[in-house]
């Protein structure tokens, strides 16, 4: 599907974009891959890597600017929406800015994609969008709902939208692993709560889930990767085995455990190999055989949470991953 096509990724100079771009170029050889981002310095740094590749284009713009989005989407077949304001404490103290990017930006993109005749759009989401308690999670839940409903909003147009939902992206810029590794000689390490758990996913797994969504989607699905959990205290031990844990308490907007599928979503959720799929409840779409396919219902009481997960990553497994990927952790 993506082979020989024209693709645009919003927020493409971020961690996800640095994984998506080379992997997609290698696997699908698209005609054109447009990197849309408001950060000109990140564009400049990324252009040093791909500047000689005629398939890669750099487009400075902001998802808050609908006109600029529309211009960038001219001739585009497929869109990956990765642009977001995502740091939880920053969102709590800058709520208007978070809403402008995560909600208004999503609305702008949906309108522009429909108007420009884009075929399919996959939006990146987060575990914090399931039963949210912080502003970031609330804006991403709103964004998810907008993209799901966008399939109805599109009317007679052929543009289709779906969502992929992630956990903690291992080693991404601003995440917990590079933070811990930034203090290699420390004798103490701050840990919010010894009980806290998080889902763990690699950038490569995230990219592959986006590819799956493009190939599988009918419209309105939320794809959830089956991934391991880990205690934050174990993440700290893996990164700084010599350091004593200093329990500092949960920060504003943080959960003790994360959730990717709530019991309320369970009646519309199906299991497929290495991922789940939450089908849209509107228009009885969750009852359609074309959307369900070979999915197995998860059961009405099902909940996919980081503390009750059946798959766990060990300290040793994380340490092995760190050694293998040390040069790129926190760099993109």
pLDDT at 327: 86
Structure tokens belonging to residue 119: 């075929």
Distance CA 107, CA 125 (A): 15
- Alpha-carbon span 3 to 31, nearest angstrom: 8
| pLDDT bucket at 251, cuts 50 / 70 / 90 | confident
- Please give the Cα distance from 85 to 293 (Å, whole number): 34
Q: What integer pLDDT is reported at residue 38 of this predicted model?
A: 95
Q: Which runs of consecutive H residues, i.e. helices, occur in the chain?
A: 15-28, 40-50, 66-72, 88-93, 95-99, 105-116, 135-153, 176-181, 203-216, 232-239, 289-292, 315-325
Enter the tokens of residue 218.
Answer: 């009918």
CB 70 within 8 A of CB 10: no
Is the pLDDT at 332 greater than 80? The verdict is no
29 domain-assigned: yes
- The answer to whether residue 233 sits within a structural domain is no
Does 179 reside within a domain? no
Task: pLDDT band for 164, please (50, 70, 90 cuts).
Answer: very high
pLDDT, mean of residues 220-227:
98
Residue located via tokens 């497994």? 317
Distance CA 87, CA 104 (A): 18
Q: Is 155 left (phi over 0), alpha (psi -120 to 50) or beta?
A: left
User: Structure tokens of 2?
Assistant: 């993506």
Q: Is residue 41 part of a domain?
A: yes
CA-nearest of 10, 332, 14, 23 to 171 is 332
User: In whole angstroms, what is the distance from residue 80 CA to residue 30 CA?
Assistant: 14
What CATH number has the domain bearing residue 114? 3.40.50.720
Q: Above 80 in pLDDT, residue 21?
A: yes
Q: Determine how many CB atoms are found less than 10 A away from the CB of residue 95.
A: 15
266 domain residue, yes or no: yes
**Token match 């989401």: residue?**
125
Q: Are strands 269-272 and 296-297 parallel, antiparallel or unpaired?
A: antiparallel
- What is the mean predicted confidence (pLDDT) over 210-235? 98
Percent of the chain with pLDDT over 90: 92
Q: Which domain holds residue 38?
A: 6-166+202-226+260-304
Q: Which residues of 64-83 are buried (b: 16+ CB within 10 A; e: fewer)?
A: eebebbbebbeebbbbbbbb
Instruction: Mean pLDDT check: name the lowest of 16-25, 115-124, 165-174.
Output: 165-174
- Checking if the pLDDT of 16 tops 90, the result is yes
Q: What is the pLDDT of residues 295-328, one digit of tens each?
A: 999 998 999 999 999 999 999 999 999 999 998 8
Total domains in the fold of the chain: 1
Model confidence at 180, in pLDDT bands (50, 70, 90)?
very high
95: pLDDT strictly greater than 90? yes
Q: How far apart are the first and last CA of the chain?
A: 28
Give catalytic residues, as residue numbers: 128
Do the domain assignments include residue 13?
yes
Pairing of strands 6-10, 32-37: parallel
Residue 237 is assigned to a structural domain of this protein: no
Name the pTM for this structure: 0.96
Quick check: 252 pLDDT over 90? Answer: no
Is 290 part of any domain?
yes
Q: Which of 106, 87, 108, 85 is nearest to 96 (CA)?
A: 85
| Alpha carbon distance 260, 272 (integer Å) | 15
pLDDT of residue 331: 76
Cα 241 from Cα 319, distance rounded (Å): 10
Predicted local confidence at residue 125, as pLDDT: 98
Tokens standing for 166?
């992630």
């Amino acid at each position: 599907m993506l082979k020989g096509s024209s693709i645009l990724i919003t927020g493409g100079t971020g961690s996800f974009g640095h994984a998506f771009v080379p992997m997609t170029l290698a696997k699908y050889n698209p005609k054109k891959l447009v990197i849309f981002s408001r950060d000109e310095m990140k564009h400049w740094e990324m252009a040093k890597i791909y500047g000689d590749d005629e398939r890669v284009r750099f487009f400075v713009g902001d998802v808050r600017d609908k006109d600029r989005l529309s211009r960038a989407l001219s001739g585009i077949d497929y869109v990956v929406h990765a642009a977001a304001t995502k740091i939880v404490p920053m969102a709590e103290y800058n709520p208007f800015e978070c809403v402008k990017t995560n909600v208004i930006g999503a609305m702008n993109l949906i309108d522009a994609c429909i108007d420009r005749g884009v075929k399919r759009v996959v939006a990146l989401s987060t575990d914090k969008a399931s039963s949210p308690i912080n502003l970031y999670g609330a804006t991403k839940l709103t964004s998810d709902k907008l993209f799901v409903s966008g399939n109805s909003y599109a009317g007679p147009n052929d543009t289709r939208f779906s969502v992929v939902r992630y956990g903690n992206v291992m080693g991404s810029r601003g995440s917990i692993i590079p933070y811990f590794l930034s203090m290699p000689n420390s004798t103490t390490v701050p840990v919010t709560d010894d009980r806290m758990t998080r889902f763990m996913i690699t950038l490569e797994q995230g990219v592959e889930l986006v590819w799956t969504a493009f190939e599988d989607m009918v419209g309105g699905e939320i794809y959830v990767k089956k991934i391991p959990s880990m205690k934050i205290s174990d993440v700290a031990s893996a990164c700084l085995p010599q350091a004593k844990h200093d329990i500092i308490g949960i920060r504003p907007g943080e959960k003790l455990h994360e959730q990717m599928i709530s019991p309320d979503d369970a009646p519309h959720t199906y299991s497929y190999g290495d991922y789940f799929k939450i089908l849209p409840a509107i228009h009885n779409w969750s009852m359609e055989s074309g959307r369900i396919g070979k999915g197995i219902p998860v059961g009405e009481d099902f909940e996919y949470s980081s503390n009750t997960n059946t798959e766990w990553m060990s300290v040793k497994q994380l340490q092995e991953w760190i050694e293998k990927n040390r040069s790129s952790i926190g760099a993109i």
